[in-house]
Amino acid sequence: FSLLLALLCGFIAWTVVTVYIDPQGSITVQNVPINYAYSASTYTAQGLDIVEKPDIETVDVKVTGNSTIIGNIQNSDIMVYPSYAGVSGAGKVTLRLQARLVNTTDFTGDIECVVEDPKTIDVVFDEVSEKTLAVLVYASGVSVA
């Protein structure tokens, strides 16, 4: 009987500590898509556009915070985007990937999102220009019906 009582008390103490006192934990959310359009104005304002990006479309993100809150986070709740801060002209640039929660009202508290793999990607930028040309069509031997 005393062994059973000791196990029950131990389980109750463990539950109180993990739920109320120190509920911190971490999970890895897989297959989070990379959003290249987020903050695109950083490079489009310079007349640049992405002409080549890696084949990788998703990454893994480590989420740290309150275990009861982060347990419900899915890949659609996280946005991964490249940091375009170092882009200053055309050419190949290694960009650091960043992650953040999309909806902070559903997931309150101190939650940290860190991209695990890969942490950086190589992207090629080039100048984009637009030109308007006049087109003249000469159609000989064609009759209008």
Beta-strand pair 58-66/112-117: antiparallel
> Which pLDDT value is given to residue 21?
67
* Strand boundaries in the chain, DSSP class E: 24-33, 48-52, 58-66, 78-82, 91-101, 112-117, 120-127
pLDDT average per 10 residues of sequence, the chain (145 residues): 91 80 84 94 90 93 88 91 91 94 77 92 90 86 73
Give the Cα separation of 136 and 60 in Å (integer): 53
* C-alpha–C-alpha distance, residues 80 and 85, integer Å: 15
Quote the pLDDT of residue 77.
92
Which strand (E) or helix (H) includes residue 44? helix 41-44
- Which pLDDT belongs to residue 33? 96
Tokens 């897989």 -> residue: 30
Q: Residue 129's pLDDT is what?
A: 79
Which 3 state secondary structure label does DSSP give 25?
strand
Sorted by where each starts, the structural domains of the chain and their CATH numbers stand as 24-127 (2.170.120.30)
